[in-house]
Amino acid sequence: MNQKPWKSLLGLAARARKIISGEELVVKEIQRKSAKLVLLSKDASKNTEKKIKDKCSYYQVPIRYVENRSELGQAIGKEERVVIGILDDGFAKKLNTLLEE
């Protein structure tokens, strides 16, 4: 199984403490304008997805989708994660680029 570049980068961001995970915490960081990018798993509940998408569009935070929650959790060495906020511009820009591919 090939490690995707974005997952390695997300792992680095996690070790650098530049990410936040969990719906409520991510929403807070979006509102504080400290989330630079939000990663949402495609298997998030409709409710969560709507809430995160609405917040992101209101506060103009880019949002990217990843395959599923276990992939997202795996990337940061945790159990499943549905949503992750990136708190660093550098990591956010690079992740955004990698996830476009």
Sheet holding 19-21, edge to edge: 19-21, 83-86, 37-41, 63-66
Q: Which amino acid is it at 34?
A: S
Q: Which fold has domain 5-100?
A: 60s Ribosomal Protein L30; Chain: A; (3.30.1330)
pTM of the model: 0.95
- Is the pLDDT at 101 greater than 90? The verdict is no
Give the domain ranges of the chain: 5-100
Tell me the C-alpha distance between 60 and 86, whole Å. Answer: 14
Q: What is the model's pLDDT at position 1?
A: 45
Residue with the larger pLDDT of the pair 45 and 101: 45
For 30-48, the DSSP string reads HHTT--SEEEEETTS-HHH
Per-residue model confidence as pLDDT tens digits over 55-95: 999 999 999 999 999 999 999 999 999 999 999 999 999 99
Q: How confident is the model at residue 2 (pLDDT cuts 50, 70, 90)?
A: low
- Is the pLDDT at 18 greater than 50? The verdict is yes
| Mean pLDDT rounded to a whole number for the chain | 95
Locus of tokens 């609405």:
54
CA angle 36, 73, 88 (to 5 degrees): 20
Q: Are 36 and 97 in contact (CB under 8 A)?
A: no
